[in-house]
Structure 1
Amino acid sequence: MKRIFTSYLNTFKGLSKEIWWLALITLVNRAGAMVIPFLSLYLRDDLGFSLSRVGWVMTCFGFGSLFGSWLGGILSDKLGYYKTILLSLIATGIGFLGLQFITSFWAVCIGFFALITVADMSRPAFFVALSAYSKPENKTRSLTLIRLAINLGFSAGPALGGIIIASIGYFGLFLADGITCILAGLLLIQTLNPKKAKETDQEKMIENPLAPHKDRLYVIFLIALALFGVVFVQYFSTVPVYYKEVRLLTESQIGLLLGMNGLMIFLFEMPLIAFMEAKNWNHISNVIGGLVLTGLSFGFFYFSGWNGVLILGMAVATLGEMIAFPFGNAFALRRAKLGRQGAYMGLYSMSFSLAHIFGHNSGMQLVDRLGYKSTWAIMAAITVVALLLLIYVKRNKDFSKI
């Protein structure tokens, strides 16, 4: 057991201290994001919005994420990643503190659009910072550490949020979110101020940088990733409903299944990524493998009777996620060396915003009109399209070895 634990810890060796600080800032920020998991309940129960109005607020939320990712990419290139992250954290903290006083429908729509815009400005900037503080050979593991911090934060956030709601009400969530965002900003000032932090990436950007939308292979790659996102987000929208309506699972059982995703990532993602990097497989091949696993996981839903098969399905889907996302991130960072990093990573973040905007709603509409089995078949077809696009990227002569 001691040898296994030591081996696990060794997968974290070699990462710069700045990456560890970045992970801690991410953990504090994500753990404080307590309003988000309870947003629909807050709008429904506390503000009394109809389901239709809740849907429109969530749509504004999604478009705010899309716009924020684009804007953050531009600001990262213009102002630098440090100022962009700091501006985002402080502005988001102030936004959360103020948003609790807005109650009218249109004001809430505009307020959440603005809040998520400034919150998600930091997403591409975090990617650029991560690239700056990582040696080229450590980028994928650095990305995995950040994902670990995100998952730990998202695991702790809802648990703390539930306690706060039960104790002092929803306004406590806004207060906690605002304070933690500002604390994350102060931690950033103390640890990653350019005057104190040392960049370790010695790779040079090329002259006459290429705009990401003109990088044909990169755009095709992002389309494939957005399609993958549409498939994957079903595990957080249509699949839980399927668990309850078709498999007759209780809310606690559904929670345990979804929690299994975060637990697997916490325990196995870093050793898995370290193992795969040692094999020196190229990034796109790994993304293809992850996408195949996630697509195959929907096949488990066709096995009726024994609900234990759902555990296997979640395990396969999570394994696909653990492989596809870190190596997809790493490919995007390396491709960004062709041009403006902020703009490249902004476009990368936007691909997942699009998946959230269209994936949840389209999945629900398909289930409503065609049923679950037909929806799973359509998800499999989308997976195949994404695979074909990734295979094209991999085989293209401009692909090289990234």
Structure 2
Amino acid sequence: MSVARLRGAARETVSGLPRAFWWLWTSTLVNRLGAFVATFMALYLTIDRGYSASYAGLVASLHGLGGVVSSLGGGVMADRLGRRPTLLIAQTCTAVFVALLGFVHDPVSIAGVAFLVGLASNASRPAVQAMMADIVRPEDRVRAFSLNYWAINLGFAVSSTAAGFIAEFSYRAGFLIESGMTLACAIVVFAKLPESRPAPTAKGRSEDIGLGTVLRDRRYMAVVGLSFLVALVFQQGSVGLPVAMGRAGFSPADYGLAIAVNGILIVALQIPVTRFIEHRDPRTLLAVSSVLAGYGFGLTAFAGSVGVFTLTVCVWTLAEIVNAPTQTGFVVRLSPVHGRGRYQGMYTLSWSAAALIAPLMSGTVIDRLGADWLWGLCAAVGTVAGLGYALLLRRLPMGDGAETADEGGNGDGFGGVERPHAEPATSPAQ
């Protein structure tokens, strides 16, 4: 492909999206560029503070538990208070708690603050996803979610590298830098993002859609359950794979080399793959990506060298690239306009719960049965999820989603609320 064609493809990928989306995208990128706690918490506790690995695991679990709790709380706040206030509260609190984490020394205090960090940081996710659904036209949502996912991985790739050098100097500096970057996100939200929550109508009000409504939506809860299964599989890249490689005699550097391919491929392929899938049937994409993820991890049972481990990472990373934006966009299709926050919160809960359970599952299976059983289980779970998507969604008409989800909207992607400014859609400055 020529340089001109590459530029044209890139221009088409980023064109047509509203300015508000790009400010939200910028906020996401800045947030991930400052990520430190999630990457180096275990090393901070065991090396810098001298605590045991068991205590580090407990703190990580409490951090994850905070995320589970706030998945639903953040969704309710996004619908009741609005997307913008929820983001401001969540990001400001996260900045305060992350900074505090760098100064507390008592084990109980560290554990408590880690829980608060997980609680505050995860509360913004349903609001971000709901706001993105509000401000982006239905036909552009898969592309928008894909670009946001790309920003998350690009920021994380850069921050992980930088965090290693920062940790050599000072772990506290890392916490303060993350706190500052998160506060910068809040400033971007305050200065540049208008509220996007749809205005109440006679037919649908946010207060009429409670968590009970979400729980009674059987088709949606089935999708959440399938998302949980897929998330359990993907979590093994960070919890099961390093343990299995260590047991097989590989070094942490070997694992780092293999897993680095995941971030590199996402940054390199997310945008071109999205161009290929954005107008294809999401039902097929979800089914195929679930099976591909399961068998990508299943192939790990046959890996005996770093090169083969890396190849397996390539397989399930491709599944991740397809699954992430498709799943998020599909969740929006199934969500009523005035309940997007709660529905996105329940979807976020499936991933938070998987992050909490996956370490326990992988450790138990590897200790009692061996790593090969874990990879076989991943293949089975991925297959079940793929079949579940195929069977559950086979009767869902393609017209039941983007069009009906925005019923009552004004067609401009703001879900029925008036645009604060009549600005043309713009591409990012870079």
TM-score w.r.t. length of structure 1? 0.92
Q: Following TM superposition, by how much is the alpha carbon of 1:132 offset from its aligned partner in structure 2, in angstroms?
A: 1.4
Change (3 A) 1:205 1:165: farther
| Residue 273 (str. 1) matches residue 274 (str. 2) | yes
Post-superposition offset of 1:396 = 4.3
Q: Count residues in correspondence.
A: 394
Please state how far the C-alpha of 1:206 moved relative to its aligned partner: 5.8
Q: Which residue of 2 aligns with 1:59?
A: 61
Matched residues in 2 for 1:134 and 1:55: separation? 39
Structure 1 residue 298: deviation in Å?
Answer: 2.4
8 Å contact from structure 1 (residues 134, 200) kept in 2:
no
Alpha-carbon distance in structure 2 between the residues aligned to 1:397 and 1:130: 23
Instruction: Look up the equivalent residue of 2:231 and give its one-letter code.
Output: G
Partner Cα distance (1:338, 1:399) in 2: 18
The aligned residue for residue 98 of structure 1 is 100
Q: Which residue, 199, 203, 207 being the options, matches 2:204?
A: 207
The whole-number CA distance in structure 1 between the counterparts of 2:303 and 2:47 is 36
- 1:136 equivalent in structure 2: 138
Q: How many Å apart are 1:11 and its aligned residue? A: 1.9
Question: Shift in Å at residue 339 of structure 1?
Answer: 5.2
Aligned to 1:290: 289
2:164 aligns with 162
2:326 is the counterpart of 1:327: yes
> What's the counterpart of residue 117 of structure 1?
119
Q: Which sits farther off after the overlay, 260-269 or 342-351? A: 260-269
**Partner amino acid, structure 2, of 1:357:** L
CA pair 174-139 structure 1, distance change in 2 beyond 3 A: same
In the other structure, the counterpart of 1:312 is 311
SS at match of 1:118: helix
Mark the CA change 1:299 to 1:116 in structure 2 (over 3 Å): closer, same or farther.
Answer: closer
Contact 1:205 1:339 in 2 (8 A): no
Partner Cα distance (1:333, 1:304) in 2: 38
The equivalent residue for 2:48 is: 46
- Distance in 2 (CA, whole Å) between partners of 1:93 and 1:299 is 39
Contact 1:291 1:383 in 2 (8 A): yes
Instruction: Name the CA distance, whole Å, in 2 between partners of 1:200 and 1:113.
Output: 29
Instruction: Out of 173-182 and 269-278, give the one that drifted further.
Output: 269-278
Of 43-52 and 340-349, more deviation after overlay is shown by: 43-52
In structure 2, relative to structure 1, the CA distance for the partners of 1:221 and 1:399 (3 Å cut) is farther
Aligned residue identity for 1:317: W
> What is the CA-CA distance between 1:9 and the residue it aligns to?
3.7
Listed as ranges, the gaps of 5+ residues in structure 2 are 402-430
Taking structure 1 as reference, are residues 2 and 201 closer, same or farther at Cα in structure 2, changes over 3 Å only?
farther
Give the alignment's TM-score, normalised by structure 2. 0.86
**Residues 169-228 of structure 1 deviation map (CA, whole Å, 9 limit, x = unaligned):** 11111111111111111111221134xxxx6999x9963665211110010111111011
Distance 2:72 2:342 in 1: 7
Matches within 5 A, 1:148-227: 148-167=150-169, 169-194=170-195, 207=204, 210=209, 211-227=213-229
CA deviations 1:265-302 (Å, max 9, x no partner) are 11111221221223x32x22211111111111123224
Counterparts of residues 364-379 of structure 1 (less than 5 Å) = 364-379=363-378
Shifted more, 144-153 versus 384-393: the winner is 384-393
Partner of residue 361, structure 2: 362
Q: Map residues 338-357 of structure 1 onto 2, 5 A cutoff.
A: 340-357=339-356
Pick from 72, 77, 80: which aligns with 1:78?
80
Q: RMSD of the alignment, in Å?
A: 2.3
Q: How far did 1:341 drift? A: 0.9
Where does residue 300 of structure 1 map in the other structure? 299
Cα displacement (A) at 1:251: 3.0
In the alignment, the residues of structure 1 paired with residue 384 and residue 337 of structure 2 have an alpha-carbon distance, to the nearest angstrom, of 26
CA contact (8 A) 2:224 2:347 kept: yes
Question: Which letter maps to 1:369?
Answer: R
Which residue of structure 1 lines up, in the alignment, with residue 414 of structure 2? none
Query: Is the contact between residue 140 and residue 327 of structure 1 (CA under 8 Å) also seen in structure 2?
Result: yes
